[in-house]
Amino acid sequence: MEKQKASSTRLLGLWLLIVALAPLLASCACSEPGPTDAAHFKVVVIGKSVHPYWSNVETGVQAAAKDLGLRADQAVFFVPPTEDVTKQIETMETYIAQGVTGIAVAPSDPSALEPVMRKAADAGIIVTTLDTPPVDDSVSLVYIGTDNYAAGKVAGEKMVQLLPAGGTVGIGRGSDTALNALQRTDGFLDAVAGTGIETLEPFNDKEDAAQALELANSVLSANPDLTGAFGVYAYNGPAWATAIKEANRVDRTKLVCFDATTDIINGIKEGVIDATVAQREFDMGYKSVYLIYLISTQGQAAAFDKMGVVNGIIDTGVDVITQANLKEYQIQLNTKGIPHKWSTQEWEPAQDEIDQWN
């Protein structure tokens, strides 16, 4: 009898232990996605300057947040007014202190940003980069953006097509430290090397639109024989376009640039910009949020697999746009549901613009 009582007391004890441990055991499926994880999730995307290009990135961030059912305050977007490494570092510090889930940053100076990125990673924050690659061996888990060297090369090849007899080309860019600016310039220089095209030393406007215009004006007036201009950042194409138009040199100066913001597309429609290498910045914002969400809720391996991360990179790709394919490009954006503020209605390409590519 005593023996039976003792064993039922033991059974009750065991049962109580199981009941007490149950919530703990359940929460130990801890890396699995769960409503609690989702409620505390917060991602911050840090860009480089106030510009329509970065507004498109922000639209992508918001679209991903919507698709993932996140509240607006769970996907924050920040950019300094112009290129500002100190401001990027300060912003990282603020969000590290808040203990956010993930930070995706476009490092204006990869070496200067790496220590604070490391601090974030050491604090358990998921760190990725977008638009602008980090240093080699960075703590950034993934770079989401353009293959900048390859894209710069494509821009250079377009210039070679436009200037078969060679000439002198000016280069404007927004940074001398950001890797995307440096790699694009390298790709461009490699593509034009040995073709009879000479290039001038690139000028740096620090992502300041007024500076970009001033510098484009001064390069044009100092070089009356300038036959081509290359705009490395989204600021530069429109700055060159305005300078070229004001100097009445549209027929004499070929212009190849990057990105497809409204002012750049207008330049293509007018015929002052001959070609642009359009990045897919909406996707950069969208995929940054989505990837960090998947890593935090499903683990890195599953997230990388679902998002197609290859060697730490999601290559978002580019589209090369001229008057000849502008309409198709718009159809492509519409099909993908990517918002844009320009239209090709009541516009037709000019035959001479198309002919220059044949």
The site for ligand BGC (CB under 6 A) is made up of 48-49, 51, 53, 106, 131-132, 174, 180, 207, 233-235, 258-259, 279
State the Cα–Cα distance between residues 79 and 293, nearest whole angstrom: 21
Kindly tell me which of 58 and 207 has the beta carbon lying closer to ligand BGC.
207
Least separation, in Å, of the C-beta of 61 and ligand BGC?
A: 15
What is the DSSP code string of 141-165?
S-EEE--HHHHHHHHHHHHHHH-TT
Q: Are 191 and 199 in contact (CB under 8 A)?
A: no
Least separation, in Å, of the C-beta of 208 and ligand BGC?
A: 9
Q: How far is CA 174 from CA 99, 232, 351, 355, in A?
A: 32, 7, 33, 32
Kindly tell me which of 132 and 288 has the beta carbon lying closer to ligand BGC.
132
Beta bridge partners of 105: 46, 129
Q: Are 184 and 151 in contact (CB under 8 A)?
A: yes
Helices (H), the chain: 2-27, 35-40, 52-67, 85-98, 110-122, 148-162, 179-192, 209-222, 236-246, 262-270, 281-298, 300-307, 326-336, 351-355
Kindly tell me which of 258 and 293 has the beta carbon lying closer to ligand BGC.
258
Least separation, in Å, of the C-beta of 340 and ligand BGC?
A: 16
Least separation, in Å, of the C-beta of 66 and ligand BGC?
A: 24
Q: Pick the closest to residue 276 from 131, 154, 130 (CA basis).
A: 154
Least separation, in Å, of the C-beta of 53 and ligand BGC?
A: 4
Least separation, in Å, of the C-beta of 78 and ligand BGC?
A: 13
Least separation, in Å, of the C-beta of 279 and ligand BGC?
A: 6
How many Cα atoms are found within 13 Å in the side-chain-facing hemisphere of 155?
35
Kindly tell me which of 51 and 287 has the beta carbon lying closer to ligand BGC.
51
Kindly tell me which of 57 and 309 has the beta carbon lying closer to ligand BGC.
57
Q: Are 247 and 224 in contact (CB under 8 A)?
A: no
State the Cα–Cα distance between residues 242 and 266, nearest whole angstrom: 11
How many Cα atoms are found within 13 Å in the side-chain-facing hemisphere of 263?
16
Kindly tell me which of 68 and 313 has the beta carbon lying closer to ligand BGC.
313
Kindly tell me which of 53 and 143 has the beta carbon lying closer to ligand BGC.
53
Least separation, in Å, of the C-beta of 56 and ligand BGC?
A: 10
Residues contacting 214, CB < 8 A, separation 6+: 205
Kindly tell me which of 133 and 228 has the beta carbon lying closer to ligand BGC.
133
Least separation, in Å, of the C-beta of 117 and ligand BGC?
A: 17
Q: Are 170 and 223 in contact (CB under 8 A)?
A: yes
Mark residue 271 as left, alpha or beta (left: phi above 0; alpha: psi -120 to 50; beta: remaining).
left
Beta bridge partners of 314: 144
Kindly tell me which of 53 and 342 has the beta carbon lying closer to ligand BGC.
53
Least separation, in Å, of the C-beta of 240 and ligand BGC?
A: 13
Kindly tell me which of 180 and 296 has the beta carbon lying closer to ligand BGC.
180
